[in-house]
Amino acid sequence: MKSASRFFLFILLATASCRESRKADHTSPPDQAAVAQDSTNEVFVDSFAARVVLGRDITIKKYFSCLDSLVAAWDTLLPYTLSEHLLVRANSWLIDSLAETDYYRLMAKGRFVYDQQKMVILHKGDTLGIPGEALAAELQSRIDSTWIDVNIPEFKLRIMEGDSVLFVFPVRVGRNQKRYLEMAGREVDLRTPIGQGRIVRIERYPSWIDPCNCKPYTETHRDDGRVTRCPQIPWLEPELNGHRPGCLIHPTTNPKTLGKAYSNGCVGMREADAWVAYYHAPVGTRIRFRYDLRGVDENGDTVRLKDIYKRKK
């Protein structure tokens, strides 16, 4: 709580559902800087239990610890379990802001950033809404019905909600070859595997390591020839058919490799797209890696895809 109070000025909104669900002696977080009633914005009141006004700038390096403090401060005061994903999905503008930290989006605007972690992602005075019980239930229902579909020869990752497609992103997949990887200690089939399962691990502070020689690196060479620090963007690890094959879903700093069989088995995405995928795929999210040679082109017509792994059907 002390760390949370350094970051935030909490402003509670008067909502009937929130008041009824709290005990009389827990109407606001402890060590709160200020409490104010607000009944002027009916739409806001109907959706959110409270507003949080940031008291300082937050960089990407401190972003997750900031959210963790906020979630911890409010979770015990709400009639449901508050999570980072619920909080951010209720404030979807934050996903858009994170996506805009993509190196190539910034370069398109004429802005070179060497160290993405030093970028300010939340500014002093920004407001985050704490979702009310009804909004949280709606968002959780959507999260629970969301799943990830990767069609390997199509080089596409889809974020699905039930039968509806929310997003379609280009990806790169594993090469059609075998190679000795020091990280595995053996020769490995680099093809991205096929199967169904769930996201079993998220790494919010990933270490960038060359699997061929196990050498860590902190800088990356970009497609435009420039060198930057490796960005801090979460990686997702799926379990497929009861096994953890080690094929992560993570951002690539070289989007020119998208649409190709290029990786050591992982599924690579643009930095912006990786942020979207992260906030739609918490641990437990269903996932499917398939090898379907039937695809759909930009006109919606069915096409036959190239058999990149020479699989016999």
Residue 312: C-alpha distances to residues 14, 190, 306 (Å): 63, 18, 12
Residue 16: partners with Cβ closer than 8 Å, 6 or more residues away: none
- 């009804």: which residue's tokens? 134
Question: Among 261, 270, 268, which residue's Cα sits nearest to residue 191?
Answer: 261
Tell me how far apart the alpha carbons of residues 112 and 84 are, in angstroms, rounded to a whole number.
29
pLDDT digit string (tens) for 284-294? 999 999 999 99
- Residues 121-148: pLDDT tens digits? 999 999 999 999 999 999 999 999 999 9
pLDDT of 76 over the 80 cut = yes
Residue 297: pLDDT band (50, 70, 90) is confident
Closest CA to 263 of 195, 175, 187: 175
Residue 129: what are its φ and ψ, rounded to 5°? -90, 135
| Residue 295: band (very low, low, confident or very high) from pLDDT cuts 50, 70, 90 | confident
Alpha carbon distance 199, 239 (integer Å):
6
What is the set of domains in the chain, with CATH numbers? 2-142 (no CATH), 145-304 (2.40.440.10)
Tokens of 150: 């990767």
For residues 36-47, average pLDDT = 42
Closest C-alpha to 196, from 261, 150, 165, 235: 150
Residue 93 confidence (pLDDT) above 70: yes
Is pLDDT of 45 > 70? no
The distance of Cα 21 from the centroid of its chain, to the nearest Å, equals 31
Looking at the DSSP bridge assignments, the partners of residue 216 are: 209
Q: What is the C-alpha separation between 296 and 305, in angstroms, rounded?
A: 9
Cβ atoms within 10 A of the Cβ of 292, count?
Answer: 13
pLDDT of residue 298: 80
Residue 301's pLDDT is: 86
Token pair 């669900």 is found at: 21
Token pair of 77 as six digits: 């005061």
- Cβ atoms of residues 58 and 122 within 8 Å: yes
pLDDT, tens digit (0-9, with 9 covering 90-100), for 186-237: 899 999 999 999 999 999 999 999 888 999 999 999 999 999 999 999 999 9
Q: Collect all residues with Cβ–Cβ distance below 8 Å to 271 and sequence separation of at least 6.
A: 99, 101, 102, 103, 104, 231, 233, 251, 252, 253
Q: What is the mean pLDDT of the chain?
A: 87
Q: Is residue 1's pLDDT more than 60?
A: no
Across the range 150-174, mean pLDDT stands at 97
Distance CA 173, CA 265 (A): 6
What does the pLDDT read at residue 138? 96
